[in-house]
A = this chain, B = another copy of it.
Amino acid sequence: MIKKTINLNGVSKMLLADPESSLAEVIREQFGLTGTKVGCGKGQCGACSVIMNGKLVKSCMTKIKRVQDGAYVTTIEGFGTPTDLHPLQLAWVVHGGAQCGFCSPGFIVSAKALLDENINPTRDQVRDWFHKNRNACRCTGYKPLVDAVMDAAKVLRGEMTKTELAFKLPEDGRIWGTNYPRPTAIAKVTGTIDYGADLIAKMPAGTLHLALAQAKVSHAKILSIDTSEAEKMPGVEKVITHKDVKGKNRITGLITFPTNKGDGWDRPILCDEKVFQFGDAIAIVAADTEAHARAAADKVKVNLEQLPAYMSAPAAMADDAIEIHPGTPNVYYEQKRAKGADTGPVMKSAASVVEGEYYLQRQPHLTMEPDVGFAYFDEDGCLTIHSKSIGIYLHHAMICPGLGIEPEKLRLVQNPAGGTFGYKFSPTMEALVGVAAMATNKPVALKYDYYQHITYTGKRSPFFVNLKYGADKDGKIVAMEGDWIVDHGPYSEFGDLLTVRGAQFIGAGYGIPNIRGVGKTVCTNHAWGSAFRAYGSPQSFFASESLMDELAAKMGKDPLELRYLNVYRPGDTTPTGQTPDGYSFPEMIDKLRPMYKEALELAKKESTPELKKGVGVSIGIYGCGLDGPDSSEVWVELTPDGVTLSSSWEDHGQGADIGALGTCHEGLRPLGISPDKIKLVMNDTALVPNSGPSGGSRQQVMTGNAIKVGCEMLVNAMRKSDGTFRTYDEMKAENIPLKYSGKWTASMCTPCDENGQGNPFPVYMYGVFMAQVAVDTKTGKTKVENFTVMADIGKINNKLAVDGQIYGGVAQGIGLALSEDFEDLSKHTSLVDCGLPYTKDIPDNFKIIYFENPREHGPFGAAGVGELPLTSPHAAVINGIYNATGVRIRQAPALPEKVLAGLKALG
């Protein structure tokens, strides 16, 4: 133990710590200042940034023994308070800088250090600062953060007051369609919101800390597990293996497709007979401290017989490949698509035919917050599991039999989540902490470090797509055919559904009359396939939007005009045969056309042999909802203080709070209540009804409609004959119910049939993307210099939230296009190595133009938004590279070496 004195946030404090511990640990776990977050744990994310003796430092990388005695340390808690925000914090709120919010304290601290040096920075200086200091954000695309710093600097320079900067409620009191900040924003920018690790730091004494003993190979038979040495390690309470699991020890994939050859019971909670992928959990150590648990986990000995590891779909499909799950073929699901006439003859008579093979990589989610969860028995004896779950009721069903607990004794709660982007559709953490709490009968907590987070959470499943278009002489596509193969990793969870998405989105946006093909779901030993924003569509559009450009090139047509010719118009149907719920593509392209032309001219003008510039476009579509007649329920209740809305609108960071609040406030407008009178109760199966999971941009539509219904019921109950409304007391006096269940089901939808035909979604989102790129022909490195999005997401609930979704989604698309991957288990193990885009990797010149065409089935005309910006922006970038250089990248990402190789091949 070492004793030092530090001045922490303006006060001299005695510090007692292990000299080897990090400043972040001491600040968080000892001083309880959990505003300083630990993301990557290796200085690549900046979430742990603090100012020490005037310099910005990464506290996770700063050992206490290196902290100078008497050092001045400022954390986010040393800035403003929730009731008196620092100008940077206020600007962050006003500009939507905090989405998931996990990076916000680190960014704000970093920005403070910059402004302490330079109170009048340019946008580029701000961007340089964040880039060089490795402040990473996965939600916002960085632009809103730069906007916030610029405004905060104005306030600090005295050129603007905080009052001028702050959001002002419109005179009519309506927040729908405004920049009303999300309710959690203040807690996020002040570092006072508690994410999972923060909650763990605040759990009562006696909570056990867990560590996993994990597989270090990708495929093996387990011969024996020896926990004896681990059990003797200091602080160990119990070493838990599959033998301690009271239930079926399986996470069920809830298979609903009858043609799936698996049964969905393929995923062990704790490995028993086999290891299916690298990182698989074999044992859990429960100990008094995390350090003790981890040390003991290293002592669990597993005797294995290694089996051939199939690290991609082709390998697992090989004739000699053994069945990964014995009894289930590695290709366990096939989805046909057949629309219109047989494509064979049509292709033959087509004026022009193009074909290509495309591979979209295993994109990692790279959330700032690593996975985390905890569990305990509540006061009613219910096993209560807290996690980042974005489907608390879904996960309840998926893990209940495996744990072996009565359903009514299992409670799931979502903690504030530092980003999920879909990976938390998989209930791995939930099952593990549940097992441990049941085995120890004590509160238990599990935190992944970032290595575990990358290597042992699901990933976007790669698609291998072989696609062919046949077009008439004008370029109108008359037939599409081709197959797609989905490398879904070892676990079946929703692998069939993902394969269906190929049938729904490959070639979507165009009125193609004749389609044929088949998709296959393949079991492999690489990372299991999990949900990821725009689920299935980036893979689909990478093929169909790349091939569209190839068709244009072949026919000598302009890629934008070729799209204009083909996009949905009345009479067209989607690839599943559904009538689109809108035809906004032509107007979007009309709007884009002059900008596109200008961009092309600029690229031409600015291109040099060393730096070639180009412009790429793509279109994107996504459906709002799960497949078919999706539904949601919420409760709307009048209280003495206002109205309480209860829902399980889970939050990835997208803004479930403002989504729910904005919709509810609009639904209650007849009552004229202010937004602060609406209390949100969210994401606890003991407290809220089943609103369904947060995936597929469904919540604004499904739960939004349920809220609308619930609000209507309440408003109608409160309405008097003279048109005025009863008060709470009057309602009580007249014995009128106060609480209403708002339910909504997308009854106009059907699932897709064996030919992939049906009406799977009630509402769609439409977008057109334009990327302006510059390719360094010496290095092959591509930079996106400008990005433009045309978006029709229906009526906008909250402008800040949808802007943020689009900026952030496109940023992930740029990463997908250029750098992100999780393929090499020995290399792709950190944010940097996985290709996370930093500030200067995302353009500051970023324009969004909305087309607010109201949706018939969307509440108050709204569609969803979250998936749209990641449907196909990467295709626009890839098409831009072609436009700039003539190099066609068909295997994403377009790493510099691939582009260089392409340039070389072109001579």
Q: Which residues of B contact A199 (CB under 8 A)?
A: 14, 16
Tell me which of B30, B33, B288, B376 contacts A1 (CB under 8 A): B376
Q: Which residues of B contact A290 (CB under 8 A)?
A: 205
- CB nearest to A30 among chain B residues: B202
Tell me which of B10, B31, B190, B378 contacts A32 (CB under 8 A): B31
Query: Are A204 and B11 CB-contacts (below 8 A) given A3-B684, A376-B1, A384-B3?
Result: no
Which of A11, A81, A378, A415 counts the most B-chain CB atoms under 10 A from its CB? Answer: A11
Q: Which residues of B contact A11 (CB under 8 A)?
A: 82, 186-187, 190, 192-193
Q: Which residues of A8-24 have CB atoms within 8 Å of chain B's CB atoms?
A: 9-14, 16-19, 21
Query: Are A30 and B194 CB-contacts (below 8 A) given A1-B443, A82-B11?
Result: no
Q: Which residues of A427-478 have CB atoms within 8 Å of chain B's CB atoms?
A: 443
The answer on a CB contact under 8 Å between B32 and A187 is no
- CB nearest to A186 among chain B residues: B11
Q: How far, in angstroms, from A774 to B384 measured CA to CA in the complex? A: 62
Tell me which of B18, B34, B190, B679 contacts A204 (CB under 8 A): B18
Q: Which residues of A284-300 have CB atoms within 8 Å of chain B's CB atoms?
A: 288-291
The answer on a CB contact under 8 Å between A289 and B205 is yes
A83 CB–B CB distance under 8 Å: yes
What are the interface flags for A190-207 relative to B under an 8 Å C-beta threshold, 1 for contact and 0 otherwise? 101110000101111110
- CB nearest to A15 among chain B residues: B202
A244 CB–B CB distance under 8 Å: no
A29 CB–B CB distance under 8 Å: yes
Q: How close is A386's CB to chain B, nearest CB, in angstroms?
A: 8
Q: Which residues of A253-290 have CB atoms within 8 Å of chain B's CB atoms?
A: 288-290
Tell me which of B13, B29, B84, B679 contacts A84 (CB under 8 A): B84
A379 CB–B CB distance under 8 Å: yes
Copies of chain A in the complex = 2
Q: Which residues of A68-103 have CB atoms within 8 Å of chain B's CB atoms?
A: 70, 78, 81-84
Q: How close is A151's CB to chain B, nearest CB, in angstroms?
A: 21
Tell me which of B14, B81, B194, B679 contacts A13 (CB under 8 A): B194
Q: Which residues of B contact A377 (CB under 8 A)?
A: 1
Q: Which residues of A199-251 have CB atoms within 8 Å of chain B's CB atoms?
A: 199, 201-206, 235
Q: Which residues of A171-201 have CB atoms within 8 Å of chain B's CB atoms?
A: 186-187, 190, 192-194, 199, 201
Tell me which of B3, B12, B415 contacts A14 (CB under 8 A): B415
Q: Which residues of B contact A679 (CB under 8 A)?
A: 70
Q: How far, in angstroms, from A380 to B289 measured CA to CA in the complex? A: 25
- CB nearest to A384 among chain B residues: B3
Q: How far, in angstroms, from A30 to B30 measured CA to CA in the complex? A: 11
Q: How far, in angstroms, from A289 to B443 measured CA to CA in the complex? A: 15
- CB nearest to A31 among chain B residues: B202
Tell me which of B10, B83, B203, B289 contacts A30 (CB under 8 A): B203
Q: How far, in angstroms, from A201 to B33 measured CA to CA in the complex? A: 13
The answer on a CB contact under 8 Å between B684 and A203 is no
Q: Which residues of B contact A31 (CB under 8 A)?
A: 32, 202
Q: How far, in angstroms, from A333 to B194 measured CA to CA in the complex? A: 62
Q: How far, in angstroms, from A34 to B31 measured CA to CA in the complex? A: 9
The answer on a CB contact under 8 Å between A17 and B378 is no
A656 CB–B CB distance under 8 Å: no
In addition to A3-B413, A11-B187, A206-B288, 13 A-B residue pairs with Cβ atoms within 8 Å of each other are: A1-B376, A1-B378, A1-B379, A1-B384, A3-B378, A11-B190, A16-B199, A17-B204, A29-B204, A30-B202, A30-B204, A78-B81, A206-B235
5 A-B pairs closest in CB distance: A32-B32, A10-B82, A1-B376, A11-B192, A205-B289
12 A–B pairs (Cβ distance < 8 Å), ordered by A: A3-B384, A10-B82, A10-B83, A11-B190, A11-B193, A16-B199, A16-B376, A17-B204, A26-B204, A65-B379, A81-B81, A206-B288
User: Chain A interface (Cβ within 8 Å of chain B)?
Assistant: 1-3, 9-14, 16-19, 21, 26, 29-34, 65, 70, 78, 81-84, 186-187, 190, 192-194, 199, 201-206, 235, 288-291, 376-379, 384, 413, 415, 443, 679, 684
